[in-house]
Amino acid sequence: MKRRPQLEMTMGELIDKRSIIKIKISRGIEADKLAQQQQWIDSWLFPYILRTLEFKEQNKIMILMTQLFICNNKQFDFEDQVLELGGEEGLRAAKNSRKWNQHRAMLKRQIDEIFGEKYLEVKKYSLAKHS
């Protein structure tokens, strides 16, 4: 595998960022500004995928990108529900959002493994004590 330019994020994070940008554009959130970011990412990302990965890996990445887009879209929906519903229904939506976030992390990890990333994203949560 060819060496890629140094980025401050893993390929999984970059592809996740692209997915979130696409969703925000489709929902009319800062569409003009974000369209330029997506165009810049795409102009670098797709030629890199074609140059760097074998055909089988390219297909896997495209499938994972689609799954990540679907996953992020679902998570956006549940996060919207948390804000709109509140109460018990909002709590259920928050739990669903958390499940989709875990699925999202798994997809990003799979993308990172295909690209041979040397480090993987690990999120650790702790409860803060209030005084």
User: What is the average pLDDT across 84-94?
Assistant: 84
Helix (H) or strand (E) holding 68: helix 55-85
Domain ranges of the chain: 11-114
Q: What is the pLDDT of residue 80?
A: 83
pLDDT > 70 fraction of the chain, expressed in percent and rounded: 85
User: What is the average pLDDT across 94-121?
Assistant: 87
123 pLDDT band (50/70/90 cuts)? Answer: low
3-state DSSP assignment of residue 1: coil
Q: Is the pLDDT of residue 125 over 60?
A: no
User: What is the average pLDDT across 86-99?
Assistant: 85
**Per-residue tokens: 6:** 């140094």
pLDDT digits (tens, 9 = 90+) for 15-62: 999 999 999 999 999 988 899 999 999 999 999 999 999 999 999 999
**Per-residue tokens: 31:** 């569409």
DSSP 8-class letter at 119: S
**Per-residue tokens: 111:** 């993308």
Q: Which residues contact 99 (CB under 8 A, 6 or more apart)?
A: none
What is the rounded CA–CA span in Å between residue 38 and residue 31?
10
The closest of 53, 47, 41, 44 to 17, measured between CA atoms, is 41
The number of residues making up the chain comes to 131
If one counts every other C-beta atom within 10 angstroms of the C-beta of residue 44, the result is 13
User: What is the average pLDDT across 101-130?
Assistant: 76
